[in-house]
Amino acid sequence: MSGLTETEHLVAALEAGGIDYVTKPIKPKEVLARMAVHLQSARERRQARSALDAFGYASITVRVADGRLMWQTPLARDLLMRYYGTDAPTTPIPVLDWLRRHVNKGEVRIEPPRFHIEQGPTRLTFRLHQQIGDSEGGGDWLIIMQEVSDESVIDAIALSFKLTPKEAEVLYWVVKGKINRDIGDILGSSPMTVKKHLERIFAKLGVETRTAAAGMVMRRIRQMHPQFEA
């Protein structure tokens, strides 16, 4: 709130980070109305962020110019701490490098390649969602994150195609491009046992080849886990 009423003063205040500008003498009803609008917007943003967390999609906003992590949902905070050991306002260096690389290249007109980090059987995926606010200096960017594990994808395969847990696991590694010998080594089985599993899998899926089975699974899994990659 200020007694400075010139347009240049208002513009300077907003450019400095203000979200509104009220001049003296104040009009109480107007001030209360403005406050109500801002509170409602804040509630809607908070609800949207909470909804993302509820569905397993964490979110952060990063300012490109100084690399500052402006805000993060509770799930995002937990994930960044677990994978990178960092917390706001620090953005993990690999994530910031990925963001700046694609923003500076002008690739934001279309969704750029996603960034992944693996930790054992789990993978954390970062997806550039949208720019928020002023674009000066690169702007602030909303980034969506999701963690996916081998186990969750295997469970989804079993459920989607009515396979046994072992059949789903075999099919998962087929999608990953592994041959029977490699799958046997991973699962502690013989190549012949893997072959028998595949015969039952092909019958259940109504296909005759590994390629057809893998293609069918990839289409289904990407509907549920868009960030999944073979």
One-character DSSP codes across the chain: -BS--SHHHHHHHHHTT-S---BSSP-HHHHHHHHHHHHHHHHHHHHHHHHHHHTTEEEEEEETTT-BEEEE-HHHHHHHHHHH---TTBPPHHHHHHHHHHHHTTGGGSPPPPEEEEETTEEEEEEEEEEES--GGG-EEEEEEEEEEHHHHHHHHHHHHT--HHHHHHHHHHHTT--HHHHHHHHT--HHHHHHHHHHHHHHHT-SSHHHHHHHHHHHHHHH-TT---
List the one residue out of 119, 127, 142, 130 whose CA is nearest residue 73: 142
Give the CATH H-level superfamily of domain 56-149: PAS domain (3.30.450.20)
Q: Which of 69-73, 120-124, 198-202, 222-226 has the lowest mean pLDDT?
A: 222-226
Q: Which fold has domain 162-224?
A: Arc Repressor Mutant, subunit A (1.10.10)
Rounded to an integer, what distance in angstroms lies between the CA atom of residue 60 and that of residue 77?
A: 9
Read off the pLDDT of each residue in 128-154 and give the average, rounded to a whole number: 78
pLDDT of residue 50: 55
Q: What is the pLDDT of residue 136?
A: 62
Compute how many other C-beta atoms are within 10 angstroms of the C-beta atom of residue 60.
Answer: 25
Contact 198, 175 (CB under 8 A): no
Domain(s) of CATH 1.10.10.10: residues in the chain: 162-224
* Vertex 195 angle, CA 189 and 201, to 5°: 110
Residue extent(s) of CATH 3.30.450.20 domains in the chain: 56-149
Read off the pLDDT of residues 199-229 as tens digits, 9 standing for 90 and up.
Answer: 999 999 999 999 999 888 888 776 655 555 5
Give CA–CA dist 205/187, Å, rounded. Answer: 22
First to last CA, the chain: 56
| pLDDT, tens digit (0-9, with 9 covering 90-100), for 150-178 | 777 788 888 888 899 999 999 989 988 88
List the one residue out of 208, 210, 209, 205 whose CA is nearest residue 220: 205
Residue scoring higher pLDDT (41 or 39): 39
Rounded distance between C-alpha atoms, residue 145 and residue 80, angstroms: 10
| Sheet with 122-132, edge to edge strand ranges | 69-72, 57-63, 140-149, 122-132, 115-119
- pLDDT grade, residue 105 (50/70/90)? low
